[in-house]
A and B are shown apart, each in its own frame.
Chain A
Amino acid sequence: MARTATPVTGRLAWPIVAGAVLALAVLVLPLLALVVRAPWADLPALLASSAVLEALALSFGTAILATAICLVLGIPLAALVARAESWATLPRRLLRAAVTVPLVLPPVVGGIALLTLLGRRGVIGEWLDRVFGVTIPFTTGAVVIAQVFVALPFLVFAVEGALRSSDRRTELAAATLGASRWQVFRHVTLPIVAPGVAAGGVLCFTRALGEFGATITFAGSLPGTTRTLPIASYLAMQTDPDEAVALALLLLAVSVVVLLTLRDRWLPGATA
């Protein structure tokens, strides 16, 4: 007991230190290069261009909407995944796999999958087009759908982790005192897992903001409608690398600011 409680001190073995330093370099050097190479003098002009502002507004608008949808859909799914702990092995694993797959899938594959489902000749899209005259690809709605697809798992796992580590006795007490299941969830469970929900929401937002592969595949790229910051940055790389670096820097800054606003306890790993 006493031994496990003692914090581990002293030096790490040198291979560990060497590996850690190398790993850190892999993570940090590219971003550092971005900062060094940035066209600082022209930055204000580059970032104030109407094309950049348009992409920025579109990115923020769609990412906020996608996060809101993820919250509405993801919290119930997280509750289900947490409850699934008591299920039989097969359905439990299937449910978990369904939530995990978008997380590990290359986003382009997600975009192709969305196109086969919702495209004009897609499984559902063909019917939507015929019956309602609605086509989804190449609309801002398609951008949001692509973002929800890739970002939802982040929210689900953050909330599910918080739910599983929460103390169930408070909920039991509320139920004993006559609260309905919905009341228990709304007034007891949700406040308890609020930090997990906030962490999940922030991760969800940054993932949505950075979404590229599924968006360009499923939603295309039209300024003001579907051309988000990452896509604008990718296209700028073809003609004006300075602008591409400026846009990349902007995305990096947003991500860093978002992460800094997170308390340590909200970071993944700390919640689980």
Chain B
Amino acid sequence: MPRASRPRGAAALAAAALALTLTGCAPTADQPGGSTSPSEPTGAAATGELGEADLTVLAAASLTEAFDALAGQFEQANPGVEVTVSYGGSGALATQVLEGAPADVFASAAEPPMQQVVDAGLVSAPEAFATNTLELVVPAGNPAGVTGLANLADPDLRIALCDPSVPCGAASVELLANEDVTGAPDTLESDVKAVLAKVSLGEVDAALVYRTDVLAGGDAVDGIEVPAAAGVVNRYPIAALTESPAPGAAAAFVAFVTGDAGRETLAAYGFGAP
């Protein structure tokens, strides 16, 4: 008797799992509903002129703290709009856009990843909104006594850099080449926040990150300014995706980031003006 009930239980479980999977997919599939609402007149007092919209922003990892703040400010100024920011290496995000990730805005840490998206015709007219430069970062208290870029050539030190395939890595390669330093990295991380984490944990003695990341790292890390870093400037472009289901809100978000209020917030997090 119990033998008969067991398969039935298993089938029910499988069916439940299937149902879960299906319902899990449904809301995202139905999301384009948001595309009509911005143009629709909305009677609700709680909703702003942009109406109800769910914005998905893909932003470079180095923008994490600044865009968390900007998203919050934008939501406050536009009731009914919800902003979700997904952070990652700019190259990985560009690939996601090319593969058709459902997103509305893309903010890259350098021009090449944005150019890929432009070439594919997925955005038009990206706008520079910030600049950033590199800085040496060491664990708080600088246990290895790092003094400058030359230390990055020391094989006895544990050193983390960004992989050259991401903007912070490309900038690091350029900076080290400019200064004739042959870096001896122990790891090449896929985004700048992964590098910063290795420093905060004390797992590496020194690393190159953006100056904004040194600020974001807080008490766990110390920054060492590198004069030559001023010669390698990353320009951050932002653009609304042409296939955004909420073009009005996407354009408004881009305008907000590139506008005065956005620039002020970005400056507070250490970004330079474009």
Contact = CB atoms under 8 A, between A and B. Distances in A.
Q: Is B one of A's binding partners?
A: yes
Interface of A: 15-16, 19, 22-23, 115, 119-121, 135, 137-138, 216, 219-223, 225-227, 234-235, 237-239, 241
Nearest to B96: A237
B99 to A, nearest CB: 8
A120 B158 contact: yes
Interface string B145-166: 0000000000000101001011
Interface stretch (B48-56, B63-71, B185-193): B185-193
A241 B95 contact: yes
Contacts of B187: 138, 219-222, 226
B158 A138 contact: yes
B186 A220 contact: yes
Interface of B: 11, 14-15, 18, 89, 91-92, 94-95, 98-99, 158, 160, 163, 165-166, 185-190, 198, 201-204
A161 B202 CA distance: 42
A220 B161 CA distance: 11
A22 B95 contact: no
Contacts of A235: 163, 165, 190
| Smallest CB-CB A-B distances: 6 pairs | A220-B187, A238-B91, A138-B186, A239-B165, A121-B202, A238-B92
A271 B180 CA distance: 60
Given A138-B158, A226-B187, A238 B89 contact: yes
Given A115-B203, A119-B203, A120-B203, A238 B190 contact: yes
Contact of B95 (A19, A216, A222, A237): A237
A119 B165 CA distance: 26
B14 A19 contact: yes
12 contacts: A19-B15, A19-B18, A137-B158, A138-B158, A220-B186, A220-B189, A221-B189, A221-B190, A222-B185, A235-B163, A241-B98, A241-B99
A270 B99 CA distance: 40
Given A19-B15, A238-B165, A239-B91, 19 more contacts: A19-B11, A19-B14, A115-B203, A119-B202, A120-B203, A135-B158, A138-B204, A220-B189, A221-B188, A221-B190, A222-B186, A234-B190, A237-B92, A238-B91, A238-B163, A238-B190, A241-B95, A241-B98, A241-B99
Contact of A121 (B11, B92, B99, B201): B201
B166 to A, nearest CB: 6
Nearest to B159: A138
B105 to A, nearest CB: 19
B157 to A, nearest CB: 11
A230 to B, nearest CB: 12
Contact of B202 (A15, A16, A120, A234): A120
Contacts of A22: 18
A241 B202 CA distance: 33
